[in-house]
Homo-oligomer: A and B are copies of this chain.
Amino acid sequence: MKNVAMVMTIQDPASQRLTWNKPPLSVLVIKKVQDVSVIQPFIDLLSWLIFEKRMVVFVEASVLDDVQLKNNTYFNPVRDKLCTFKEGKDDLTDKIDFIICLGGDGTLLYASSLFQQSVPPVMAFHMGSLGFLAPFEFANFQGQVTSVLEGHVALTLRSRLRCIVVRKNSDSLDKKSHSGVLVLNEVVVDRGPSPYLSNIDLFLDGKHITTVQGDGLIVSTPTGSTAYAVAAGASMIHPSVPAIMVTPICPHSLSFRPIVVPAGVELKIMVSPDARSTAWVSFDGRHQQELKVGDSLKVTMSIYPVPSICAQDQISDWFDSLAECLHWNVRRKQRQFD
């Protein structure tokens, strides 16, 4: 008999499917702001969820102030049935069974930001926007939502990164810094408005790995590999791969190829002590703040992914979005014997 038998467990992506413990009752609907074209679909969806499906429907409180909705007579019967919440004030934890987004990747990024721990399954309709994270078309939404409510669908668990900024001079971490910010695409450290190259030190599990001299550094999830990272030259990673991607932005070094590291590592990023200027950090393109010499950014993978409902399945959805959004390997076919 073998002394040590080394066998790996390999997960079939097709095995990740949505399973409800009990029939879902409450739904949060998020719509794109400042886009007139989603007003009518939004009302249609709310009406159907409330009056046909008898569900408890949540929307953001500020939605009710939308002038486009206020003046819409179809919205009146819906308005009174809605539950509302305010971001940063009301706690949604354990109140929402699933989420519907109307309007492109921005709405899903917003949904992600609302849930800093476990996230309910999200069904995202792209509504004509670029749909990397939003695979569903709105036509015949009733049939599609019904399928989801019945649990007949595939899921992609999109991992998120927990980012914590540790300030040099803070004796104790304040609560918000401690819990950190979750990003679905990427955290970027760059030179911001400075004309000088960044000098950024990268550590993995406490070890100094390399120094980035260039415009900056992107730490992204596999989901984010097709966002800013791909523009900076990264390979594209399917969102189900448990990994963290590190991509330099315009590095001064010819040999600084992007790298992909295991999901379980801790990254630390600091402005080099001998850097000429500070750096700037932003989270999914938002909340930009300065990172001074001595400050550091810690990044780990969160155990709370965004469960993103597939229109078809994990593989088809991803390759469809590569073709649709990035024209991946779209080419004119060469004729035979040309």
CB distance from A264 to the nearest CB of B (A): 4
Distance of A130 Cα from B337 Cα, bound (Å): 11
Q: Is A255 a contact partner of B21 (Cβ separation < 8 A)?
A: no
Q: Is A260 a contact partner of B260 (Cβ separation < 8 A)?
A: yes
Say if the beta carbon of A2 comes within 8 Å of chain B.
yes
Which residues of the other chain, B, contact A253 by a CB distance below 8 angstroms?
255, 326-327, 329-331
Q: Is A257 a contact partner of B235 (Cβ separation < 8 A)?
A: yes
Q: Which of B7, B24, B262 contacts A238 (CB 8 A)?
A: B262
Q: Is B235 a contact partner of A252 (Cβ separation < 8 A)?
A: no
Which residues of the other chain, B, contact A238 by a CB distance below 8 angstroms?
243, 259-262
Given contacts A7-B304, A261-B238, A338-B104, contact A256 B319 (CB under 8 A): no
Say if the beta carbon of A41 comes within 8 Å of chain B.
no
Q: Is B235 a contact partner of A245 (Cβ separation < 8 A)?
A: yes
Which residues of the other chain, B, contact A98 by a CB distance below 8 angstroms?
3
Q: Interface size (A, Cβ < 8 Å)?
A: 121
Among the listed stretches A51-59, A72-80, A178-186, A207-215, which one makes contact with chain B, having 4 or more residues with CB under 8 Å of it? Answer: A207-215
Say if the beta carbon of A173 comes within 8 Å of chain B.
no
Say if the beta carbon of A67 comes within 8 Å of chain B.
no
Which residues of the other chain, B, contact A118 by a CB distance below 8 angstroms?
2, 5-7
Q: Is A231 a contact partner of B255 (Cβ separation < 8 A)?
A: no
CB nearest to A254 among chain B residues: B255
Q: Mark A273-303, 1 if CB is under 8 A from B, else 0.
A: 0101000001001101000000000000101
Distance of A275 Cα from B289 Cα, bound (Å): 24
Q: Mark A33-57, 1 if CB is under 8 A from B, else 0.
A: 0110000000000000000000000
Which residues of the other chain, B, contact A2 by a CB distance below 8 angstroms?
93-94, 118, 120
Say if the beta carbon of A232 comes within 8 Å of chain B.
yes
Scan residues 100-120 of chain A and give those whose CB is less than 8 A from a CB of chain B.
104-106, 118-120
CB nearest to A238 among chain B residues: B261
Among the listed stretches A11-19, A82-90, A136-144, which one makes contact with chain B, having 4 or more residues with CB under 8 Å of it? Answer: A11-19
CB distance from A150 to the nearest CB of B (A): 14
Most chain B beta-carbon contacts within 10 A, residue among A7, A119, A247, A255: A255
A-B contact pairs, 5 of them (CB 8 A): A130-B335, A210-B328, A235-B235, A248-B329, A327-B327
